[in-house]
Amino acid sequence: MTLGSKIAWDDTVLPFQLDRPDIRGRVARLDGLLDRVLEQHDYPQTIEALIAETALLTALIGQTIDLRWKLSLQVRGDGPARLIATDYYSPATKGEAASIRAYASFDQDRLDPDATPFSQIGKGYFAILIDQGAGNTPYQGITPISGSSLAECAETYFAQSEQLPTRFSLTFGKSQEPGGPASWRAGGIMLQHMPKASPFAAQQGASGEDGLLAAEDILDEDQGENWRRANFLLDTVEELEMIGPKVQPTDLLVRLFHEERPRVYDAQRVQFGCTCSADRVRQSLSIYSARDIAHMTTEEGIVTADCQFCGAHYRLEPSTLGFEAQVNDDG
């Protein structure tokens, strides 16, 4: 494969359809985007791995939804990794790249570098929030942390909250080409069965962990056979095939699913992007009282704030927050 063809698939999400079993899917590859996300903070490797997995899930999930503005994925736990948060912003116009940003909150002193990253989350919840913009009511779906990975949490979310059988196969980590620096790469495949409305889940109950629904609870016999066959084929995928760069996603789909009659659609580019601005910071500070603003004001009379996603530093005049008189009175 030439360098040009490798770059062509960097930071893309490729939608596809398996016509025979009525299954849709996505293939995602994240390369420079992950480095841009992670270079904003000096995260421990355990936290970097959790962010990489969450960003990859966000890219796959965000591209499946008819989104007009933003999809957010949040993982909250009582372990050392307290919060992993990502946002996916749909492109403003067709042909433009979607944007992804991410950050984490964690307790450095409690992190166990020898433990699996997922174990550092502990008990908590996995949530997807969809905001279609002004004038629309935001949607929020929440399921408990379950399974042994964030991918399994996402599968449980779709089975339980959306009753959509969903499967993720993901790989991510640092790689290094000869003579080049080490960088983060990630690749993944998402499968999602589009079931007909069915009473099976209600009649049969839930067979998943902690009484949660699983894919098998949602599908009838014929659908279940198709779903198991597609999953069996996905199980043959190799990690290097998913992250590339020697196997193109289109070739990978033919290799895995040629008997399922795969069709591909236009790939969606994704990039690192943050929507923070001075105006958004002012809006977020509007919930604070004059006394709170006074405590945030430096000796030079400036209110400072940092963006958790991109690290941008803002210096604001208290008067632009509508608090000049109150702050001066408190001073």
Instruction: List, for residues 118-152, the tens digit of each pLDDT value.
Output: 999 999 999 999 998 878 888 999 999 999 999 99
pLDDT higher than 80, residue 214:
no
pLDDT over threshold 90, residue 192:
yes
Please choose, from the candidates 53, 109, 40, the residue with its C-alpha nearest in 3D space to the C-alpha of residue 84: 53
166 confidence band (pLDDT: 50, 70, 90): very high
Q: CA 296, CA 298: separation in Å to the nearest integer?
A: 6
Please name the residues in contact with 285: beta carbons below 8 A apart, sequence gap of 6 or more.
Answer: 293, 296, 303, 305, 316, 321
The 10s digit of each residue's pLDDT in 146-159 is 999 999 999 999 99
pLDDT at 327: 43
Measured CA angle at 271 (ends 100, 88), to 5 deg: 20
Q: What average pLDDT does the structure give for the chain?
A: 86
192-196, 281-285, 313-317, range with the lowest pLDDT: 281-285
Band of residue 223 on the pLDDT scale cut at 50, 70, 90: confident
46 near 117, Cβ under 8 Å? Answer: yes
Which domains does the chain show, CATH number per domain?
A: 3-272 (3.55.30.10), 278-330 (3.90.1280.10)
Q: What was the pLDDT predicted at 176?
A: 67
Distance CA 11, CA 37 (A): 12
- Angle, CA of 72, 73 and 79, to the nearest 5°: 140
- Mean pLDDT of the 240-251 span: 87
Torsions phi, psi for 196 (to 5 deg): -75, 155
Q: Using a CB cutoff of 8 Å and minimum separation of 24, what contacts does 64-68 make?
A: 64/15, 64/24, 64/26, 64/190, 64/192, 65/130, 67/130, 67/132, 68/132, 68/133, 68/136
Q: Find the range with the poorest average confidence among 42-51, 138-147, 293-302.
A: 293-302
Q: Is 91 left (phi over 0), alpha (psi -120 to 50) or beta?
A: beta
Name the band, by pLDDT with cuts 50, 70 and 90, for residue 57: very high
Q: Tell whether the model's pLDDT for residue 222 goes beyond 50.
A: yes
Name the residue type at position 156: T
The greatest distance separating any two alpha carbons of the chain, rounded to the nearest whole angstrom, comes to 75
